[in-house]
Structure 1
Amino acid sequence: MEQYDVLVVGGGAAGFFAAINTAERNPALSVAILERGTSVLNKVKVSGGGRCNVTHAEFIPNELASYYPRGQKELKGPFHSFMTGDTMAWFESRGVPLKIEDDGRVFPESNSSQSIIDCFLKQSQKYDIKLKKNHAVRSIGQTGDSWAVETTKEVFYCKKLMIATGSNPKIWQMLQSLGHNISPAVPSLFTFDIDDPRLKDIPGVVAKDVAVEVMGTSLHSEGPLLITHSGLSAPSILKLSAFGAIELAQLNYKFEIKINFIQQDAASCLEVLMKNKLELSKKLVRNTPLFELPKRLWVKLVQAAAIADELRWADLNKLQLQSLSKQLTKAVFQVHGKSTFKEEFVTAGGIDLKEINFKTYESKLFKNLFFAGEIINIDGVTGGFNFQNAWTGAYLAAQELSK
């Protein structure tokens, strides 16, 4: 049996951030982190391709909140207290210089997630935070004014308990048995699996600015589109997967999408094509990509419009021009499944948002029980937003945990 002032369950980003900020504010407190595995901060290590996408350079709280399909309303208040600029200052003041990339993502200057891990471990040692590995939680309960956490090795008692275990079904079940409502987990960041001749043999091709909609729904997005070995990815697709997480799960990941590759309507597109029929009359259609489309994608769409490789612009009739316009502005693809986005596995689901006080991240049902990170039913699109949610919740909870 061990007794602590503050016990943090979960050796990930939110758990460490909560523990460090708690101990930093009140070094007299005894603080410990429980981790079920043999190592800590595993998700931090692999995030951003091993570089750790710390946050995103959006500095207006309400704008930042708009990147969260679930939790958008709830995060506006917390972001006014701790958000991107605060996160960047926190790491930089502790010896981790950061950089903002062109797309707004924020990484350590070292380009290594190890910089973040080393920072956390150093701060933990500085404030004598006890790190208990190989402690899988078996039960959580109250004993008088204390919380009791039984692990596979022993029982811990604490005055205040922070749970930051991410989307761990076993922990969710324990919280459910206590009385918390849990929204079921479904994948939130994933790519679309598509088997279509228009995408065959051109993996790595990027269309810079497309519009995508899920047919039969109100889901739509814009942005870059990446053709992969198994289908489609990049921000335009990942945003759809996040905002449509629940709806797409209900469709069993089988649905149709419509893509406008050029962000123009069919009539405007047809006008440009007819103009090119005159101006490029002697050139092969397949060799003259328009609308700044990558040549390999252009060739695929030309073939899909049933325009033979040897045809010149002058050879095209009105039906062929209309067919090409349709491929460029209203191309329909059948999605037949999903794939995890890189090493990231983000889920929608978790503790009901109505059961959390977002000023303190304390449970509304139980005093001195706090949550942060993906254990709550909050998730963001890709680009550092899920980490920012973790930092914000952990920081605000630490202000209460340290009292």
Structure 2
Amino acid sequence: MIYLDYQATTPLAPEAFAAMEPWLKDGFANPHSTHAAGRAAAAAVEVARDQIAALLPTGGRVIFTSGATEAINLAIMGCGLPVSAAATEHAAVLDCVHARQGCVLPVGEGGILKILPETGRWHAAGVTEGEGVQTLGSTTNPLHQALRGPPPRTGMGLVAVMLVNNEIGTIQPVAELAAAAHAQGGLFLCDAVHAFGRMPIPDGPDMIAVSAHKIHGPKGIGALWVRDGVDLKPQMLGGGQEQGMRSGTLSPALCAGFGAAAKLAAERMEADAAHVGALWDRAVAAFSDWTINGSTTKRYKGNLNIRRDGVDAARLISECRRIAFSAGSACASGSGRPSHVLCAIGLSDAQAKSSIRLGFGRYTTAEDIDIAAGAINRAAEAML
């Protein structure tokens, strides 16, 4: 099988497996116990915490969670503030926005949320109103309206925008957006799941959500970075083991795997980026009859989301069974609904359902791209 679904998950790095193995065998002690074995496990957790923190801004703390979804829930629900988010955010963010009756901020054709420099206002390109979500509506709206939320406006709020989009790879100007939120007295949450370990994380956000299995680490663990001084209320109650913010016994094995993956990503960041860039050029050339969805310049190049009119993406995936690729987020696969991200950037339902996402990275080869492109193009031609 040729694996081209790196946005859904990444292969476990051998180095991460090696770091986990001792804690799965003999190092099974509870890291919250005070005996020697427990203290050794706790030390491994702290080493991992430092390895992850090395890829994040200074002046904050890393809180381990079960994944980025829990980290996002802790950030949005835990801060208790009115929340606004880009229309292209992951479901983990948008569902929290719905629950908080917050605002969805529209994006432009490339999927980028902009600030109008002369006014300090969000640039909005229109968005469909969803149940339980208040949209901003007109072409431009003051940032403070989004931050304060619906009446009664009792205080400033939280803006959530991801750094790299999981479906179309668009890179948002997070530092500028965070500065605009701060200028209005608000906070800024960044879902950095698809950027962490692949590029430097800009300073500016007040909270950052990351995940291990998107950087060749294990599934079942993520983290929320929280800037010093940001007040959160825990969303999981119990023993309060993780800094009083997240109850439950930490897994030293998962923490060690996450830390090793982060350390490896830091060491390989430039080499991985060069490799992905070369694969992108090869893939774009191989799919010359397709249209790229999202920005082609402000983009992480390990994500190629493309469409071809007349192609049925679901059928294409079924027919190319020896190639693992997707029609969008794995979280929404099988729903039958067109991608909310592709619809948010202006695609019709038919165009969205004619789109596929190819994700590649560290362990992808040029031959993988060539073989996959040949098979996918042949199957697509047969439909037209």
Q: What TM-score do the two structures reach when normalised by structure 2?
A: 0.22
Q: 1 or 2, which has the higher strand percentage? A: 1
